[in-house]
């Protein structure tokens, strides 16, 4: 029996390795040509110190307590030269991927579906050439190449990991390079490639209520998370507040409803900022974020949207004096995702 280990590097790149039962993470990484930082490999120098953000493991007792203190172990810090996983894990590595001699992972496929679902949003899918080589954490993004150019744009997966076909929600930006190609040139069968996955915005283990806040195409990574949660199941309440500017900007409603039908602890709210909207709920996501949802701060908040929305939510929580147990957010601009 083995485990899947996600190594999340300082520059946002993520690489997955397989770790055999009883094998140390450092040994597994080197076996798969991932040169994690190390020096002594005996638990003495601390060069290989990382932080495990998710998963179970055994550190044994063959390391120096001066190198890894009791306080550090309680915070999830590990020495990869001593760490033996007991489950799948996510490990934050405090160096860039380039320092570990890793080249960016590139994947390719062909456009299998393309639809302008509203004036502001494009939904498209890629059928991967080698789906078995792509692993990502739900919520992460990739740098997608614009065919015919040397330019790349960052977009989050809206699909769940493990599928042979990946999907994206793309904001239709007038004059945008990717938007222009998708709306005027792209056809089913067109070839595309991307580099990734990247990002520290991804679903963590659910141990308390979760609130998800989406602005426009910021819905994409949250859909990926919800797909995984629906497949795995959870007894914790999950609430999504999805905000758009105009009625026509609402997308993937049937998909959200289908997820809600399958996951009994999942509820959701839709709001439109335009005061002339015909939708029954108007305003911004913060207008519909109640004290019940915030659960006195015992809540994990996932937020993805444009910078003004992210800052507005942060100010809202600060003014209410609520500090969520965990607050994960990602801002995106018109042409790229910017991990925060």
Kindly state the average pLDDT of the residues 320-326: 95
* Interval 198-223: pLDDT, tens: 999 999 999 999 999 999 999 999 99
Cα–Cα distance measured from residue 203 to residue 196, given in angstroms and rounded to the nearest whole number: 17
Which CATH code for domain 2-100?
3.10.20.30
So what's the architecture of 210-339 in CATH? 3-Layer(aba) Sandwich (3.40)
φ, ψ for residue 302, nearest 5 deg: -115, 125
Q: Where are the domains of the chain?
A: 2-100, 106-198, 210-339
Which CATH code for domain 106-198?
2.40.30.10
Task: Answer yes or no: same fold for 106-198 and 210-339.
Answer: no
Give the pLDDT of residue 336. 46
φ, ψ for residue 202, nearest 5 deg: -150, 165
Q: What is the pTM of this model?
A: 0.91
* Interval 157-211: pLDDT, tens: 999 999 999 999 999 998 899 999 999 999 999 999 999 999 999 999 999 999 9
Kindly state the average pLDDT of the residues 274-295: 94
Cα–Cα distance measured from residue 88 to residue 80, given in angstroms and rounded to the nearest whole number: 14
* Interval 97-109: pLDDT, tens: 988 888 889 999 9
Flag whether pLDDT at 332 surpasses 80: no
Give the pLDDT of residue 62. 86
Give 167-212 as a DSSP string: EEEEE--TT-HHHHHHHHT--TT-EEEEEEEE-S--PPP--S-EEE
């Amino acid at each position: 029996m083995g485990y899947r280990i996600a190594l999340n590097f300082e520059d946002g790149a993520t690489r997955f390795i397989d770790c055999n039962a009883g094998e140390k993470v450092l040994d597994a990484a080197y076996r798969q040509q991932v040169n994690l930082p190390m020096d002594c490999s005996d638990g003495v120098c601390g060069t290989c110190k990382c932080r495990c953000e998710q998963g179970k493991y055994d550190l044994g007792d063959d390391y120096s307590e001066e190198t890894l203190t009791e306080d550090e172990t309680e915070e999830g810090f590990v020495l990869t030269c001593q760490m033996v996983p007991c489950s799948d894990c996510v490990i934050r590595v405090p160096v860039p991927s380039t320092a570990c001699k890793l080249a960016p992972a590139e994947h390719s496929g062909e456009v299998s579906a393309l639809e302008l679902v509203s004036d502001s949003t494009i939904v498209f899918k890629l059928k991967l050439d080698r789906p078995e080589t792509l692993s990502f954490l739900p919520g992460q993004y990739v740098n997608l190449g614009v065919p015919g150019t040397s330019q790349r744009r960052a977009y989050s997966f809206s699909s769940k990991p493990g599928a042979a076909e990946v999907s994206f929600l793309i904001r239709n930006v007038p004059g945008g390079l990717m938007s222009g190609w998708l709306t005027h040139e792209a056809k089913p069968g067109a070839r595309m490639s991307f580099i990734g996955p990247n990002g520290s915005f991804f679903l963590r283990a659910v141990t308390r209520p979760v609130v998800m806040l989406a602005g426009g195409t910021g819905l994409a990574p949250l859909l990926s998370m919800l797909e995984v949660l629906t497949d795995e199941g959870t007894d914790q309440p999950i609430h999504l507040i999805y905000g758009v500017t105009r009625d026509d900007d609402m997308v993937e409603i049937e998909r959200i409803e289908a997820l809600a039908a399958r996951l009994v602890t999942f509820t959701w709210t839709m709001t439109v900022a335009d005061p002339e909207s015909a939708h029954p709920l108007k305003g911004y996501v913060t207008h519909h974020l109640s004290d019940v949802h915030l659960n006195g701060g015992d809540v994990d908040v996932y937020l993805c949207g444009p910078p003004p929305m992210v800052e507005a939510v942060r100010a809202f929580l600060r003014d209410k004096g609520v500090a969520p147990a965990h607050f994960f957010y990602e801002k995106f601009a018109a042409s790229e995702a910017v991990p925060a």
